[in-house]
Amino acid sequence: MQSINPLSGSIDKSIVRIASTPGLGLTNHRSSPNRLTVKCVDSTKAGRTRHEWQSCCAVLASKVASQQQDSKKIDGGITGVATVNGHQTLDLVPINGAVAKSPFALPKPLSISDFSAVPLHGSQLRVAYQGVPGAYSEAAAGKAYPNCEPIPCDQFEVAFQAVEIWIADRAVLPVENSLGGSIHRNYDLLLRHRLHIVGEVQLPVHHCLLALPGVRMEHITRIISHPQALSQCENTLTKMGLNASREAVDDTAGAAEYIATNNLRNTAAIASARAAELYGLQTLAKGIQDDSSNVTRFVILSREPIIPRMDRPFKTSIVFAQEKGTNILFKVLSSFAFRNINLTKIESRPHRNLPIRVEDGGAKQFEYLFYVDFEASMAEERAQNALAEVEEFTSFLRVLGSYPMDMTPWRPDMEE
């Protein structure tokens, strides 16, 4: 038997008794040569309180240097688990024994790194986009982050949600086209979700007319594609003399995939040259967009904003609702004009929470939210002063992001 000094934690030779507390005894039972099971016995009849007994047990427990856990069970219990007053407690092991992990240790709390470790410099960054492989949005994601892992989504809102729940690190979504105009759906989603714009990509769009191998132009009776692509090629298709109906689908590459999957020999798709390669289609015509200067602007979305800088051209996007009154919109826009801040876009969308305002006399006015892009960084004092003035004339103001402008040169006659 061995004696344990509760004040020093040292192991002496035989049994066990705490000299400072005569009423507290320790008895030991060996279940194996290296295992010591300890039990506290309260033999105090008078003069000692239960509080002192508990204090002594606490002193003893604080001196335990390590504990050991066996996977085997003996007599229906866990081998070597000590008991104090009939309850399981920490093990005592010899000081020179191996240090084992406590079986009662709590699991490590989850952290952000358990959900997603965001890579650096775009390496294997997970980027969500709407569409299927071969879509122009995938090309935009590759331009923004050349080494990224693209994640296709069937809807714009799914791409927003993929970033919010850490499935993706970024989302690249179109907001406007030089021929087709704004993609209103994504402007509405920018307000509904709490993601931040951290960059933009301007991608030249080169449409191709695709069909199954062996199909000739005169066999085409139907053309399918995204509504924007159909509108961007309408004049060219008319000049080609195609007597074919137009049908809208969710995205351009999806149209090519649909033809290949269903072996549709009377249908053509408007999509990219990459979509033709991916889905085994032939190209009947290249560059069928009505204007060679066909560019789509995409925004890059993230859970966290970036820090605005002044060492390169920046753009800032905001959304606001104007206060009641006259000439409010003029006053808001004047806040930028007086500071020589160039506006690159202004877009109005219905105010869904308050679509109609009833004025004095019963007149009804539509309420709008205004989206504005301007060329300035929020790190600049003039931009900060402009927004401070804008806030005086608005009932709602939100900065969607301040981010670097895409200054990449491009040629309309060259594909990416």
- Comparing CA positions, the residue from 196, 198, 131 lying closest to residue 406 is 198
Catalytic residue among 296, 336, 370, 374: 296
156, 160, 298, 393: which is the annotated catalytic residue? 298
CB–CB of 147/123 below 8 Å?
Answer: yes
Q: For residue 215, which amino acid is it?
A: V
Q: Tell me how far CA of residue 392 lies from CA of 109, 146, 215, 317, 396, in angstroms.
A: 45, 42, 62, 18, 10
- Cα distances (Å, whole numbers) of residue 368 to 90, 323, 331: 67, 11, 16
Cβ proximity of 147 and 122 under 8 Å: yes
Establish whether 156 is a catalytic residue.
Answer: no
Which residue, among 256, 233, 251, 258, has the nearest Cα to 174 in the 3D structure? 251
Residues near 214 by beta carbon (within 8 Å), at least 6 away in sequence? 265, 282
Three-state SS at 252: helix
- Inter-residue contact 254 to 129 (CB < 8 Å): no
User: Is 296 considered catalytic here?
Assistant: yes
Q: Which residues are catalytic?
A: 296, 298
